[in-house]
Amino acid sequence: MAKHKVKATAGGGQSQTKEIIRRFKKNRSAMVGLAVFLIICLIAIFADVITPYSNAIDQIKGARLEAPSSEHWFGTDHLARDMFARVIHGSRYSVVFALVVSACALVISVVLGGVAGYYGGWVDNLIMRILDIFMCIPGDLLALCIVAAFGSSLPNLLVALIIGRVPATVRIVRATILGISSADYIEAAQCHGAKDARIIAKYIIPNAMGPIIVDATVNASRIIISVASLSFLGLGIQAPAPEWGNLLASAREYMRTCPWLVYLPGLALVITSLSINMVGDGLRDALDPKIRD
């Protein structure tokens, strides 16, 4: 009987947020993930301090496809460029895309999903049917089509990935908001005569934020993979820019003789995406402790 009391209460509030933060801090893997992701962010910000961008682009005479050494920590690629510098600078693309795309997708989805979920009726129907159509197109094909039509410049890529992410996120936001707005405490607030704006600000947003933020983190890690995939197909960030997917694409031909060209950028990719997933996981557990009973 006593176990029923963990369920979150209405109205969010300070103490609940504190409790969530406390639980998050207790989760060791989430804290490790957060630390790793922050380090990667720092690497991205201070990439030029670690090694100048020219190192990632300039060719070093007579140093083609060299194995990792004390001079070139990650070896060199087929155009005799320092892989360490390329991997370091590649972090910028991943971090920027992850943050910008997931943040934009989050904002757009909260607006669309919020409107659909809270108002319902024909607005809901219209938004959801349109998104159903977007959801029919497999995987990153929609983003690929956008890139094909408009070109793969940086802003186009951002837009393409945002559009690719929005439909699924809207669904989650809408479902969350629907769940909350049909909850008894919303009805109670309406009976007290609370206005729509107050209900949205005081009840719906604080209670919906949890699952939505968790989804945004999951999205961020998927976006990193999507960007790399597009670039790997040659339809994302264009060479010679040192995007990790690019590095892997050009490594394909030299895989047999120079496997480090596959291992290292791939590992960088996996570690980044893994660190975000670990944070997302920790957030999920912190928000919803009932599964751990």
Binding site for another protein (CB under 8 A): 1-3, 6, 129-130, 132-142, 144-151, 221, 225, 228-229, 232-235, 245, 248, 251-252, 255-256, 259, 262, 266, 269-270, 273-274, 277-278, 281, 289, 291-293
- Residue 55's contacts (CB-CB under 8 Å, 6 or more residues apart) are 81, 82, 85
Least distance (Å) between residue 87 CB and another protein:
14
In the complex with another protein, the residue whose CB is nearer, 212 or 220, is 220
What distances in angstroms separate CA 91 from CA 147, 152, 255, one per listed residue?
22, 19, 22
Least distance (Å) between residue 202 CB and another protein:
26
- The residue with tokens 């892989």 is 83
Least distance (Å) between residue 286 CB and another protein:
11
- What DSSP string runs through 113-139? HHHHHHH-HHHHHHHHHHHHHHHHS-T
In the complex with another protein, the residue whose CB is nearer, 57 or 262, is 262
Output DSSP code: residue 182: T
In the complex with another protein, the residue whose CB is nearer, 147 or 199, is 147
E strands, 97-248, in order: none
- The residue with tokens 């990935």 is 161
How far apart are the C-alpha atoms of 5 and 93, rounded to whole Å? 45
Least distance (Å) between residue 11 CB and another protein:
20
In the complex with another protein, the residue whose CB is nearer, 127 or 147, is 147
Q: How far apart are the first and last CA of the chain?
A: 13
Least distance (Å) between residue 285 CB and another protein:
10
How far apart are the C-alpha atoms of 115 and 57, rounded to whole Å? 47
How far apart are the C-alpha atoms of 197 and 166, rounded to whole Å? 24
Structure token digits, residue 214: 């968790």
In the complex with another protein, the residue whose CB is nearer, 163 or 189, is 163
Least distance (Å) between residue 211 CB and another protein:
14
In the complex with another protein, the residue whose CB is nearer, 53 or 134, is 134
